[in-house]
Amino acid sequence: MPTVNGYHVNKITTVYDTQKGIEAIKETVAKSKKLRITTIPPSLLKELMPLFADKDIRILLLPGEKVPEKASNPIDIAISKSKLLADFKGEEVIVGSITSPAVSFNVMWKDDKIYDITAMNYERCVRCIGETFEDTGWRFADKLTERIPVPEEKKPEVKTHIM
């Protein structure tokens, strides 16, 4: 932890305006090899899908939410048995998250409109959030029997040699 003027200083969170928050999420998704995504707006999920190539990804969707049709690699999907809500300036909104090993983003949204994006930067909290996803959210969710398929044109060509 860095010291500034004799005090230990650690940045624990960032509050973004919506567009800069989406850009920060995209940068994090592009750099990360492991992502855990919980109940984010469908339009944001669709926007992030092209960045999911070669990543370890698990996604929790809300009941009734449409499962993405194509992915650049197989993705584990489950239907959440819970919904996190927040009061955002008098409006009840859904709280979703995108968690990488380095940062966890909270996305407050309703009807596919994003109200607020914050990021937890403090390493211990990010690790705890990741463990909570695995221990409760994923374990108790209804897993879909199939992963999102990889489009035929993206599958590697398999060559066999006959001797």
- CATH number of the structural domain spanning residue 137: 3.30.870.10
- Give the range among 52-56, 116-120, 140-144, 156-160 with minimum mean pLDDT: 156-160
> pLDDT exceeding 90 applies to what percent of the chain?
37
Residue 46, token pair as written in the block: 């669709």
Is residue 4 situated within a structural domain?
no
Is residue 160 situated within a structural domain?
no
Residue 94 — φ and ψ, nearest 5°? Answer: -85, 145
pLDDT at 161: 47
Q: Which domain does 48 fall in, by range?
A: 11-145
Is residue 162 situated within a structural domain?
no
Q: Which residue has the tokens 């707006």?
A: 41
Residue 41, token pair as written in the block: 């707006």
Is residue 57 situated within a structural domain?
yes
Residues 6+ apart with CB under 8 A from 157: none
Q: Which residue has the tokens 């009061």?
A: 87
Residue 20, token pair as written in the block: 């800069």
Res. 102: pLDDT tops 90: no
Is residue 155 situated within a structural domain?
no
Is residue 1 situated within a structural domain?
no
Q: How many domains does the chain have?
A: 1
Return d(Cα 60, Cα 56) in angstroms, integer: 14
Is residue 22 situated within a structural domain?
yes
Is residue 156 situated within a structural domain?
no
Assessment of whether the complete model's pTM goes beyond 0.85: no
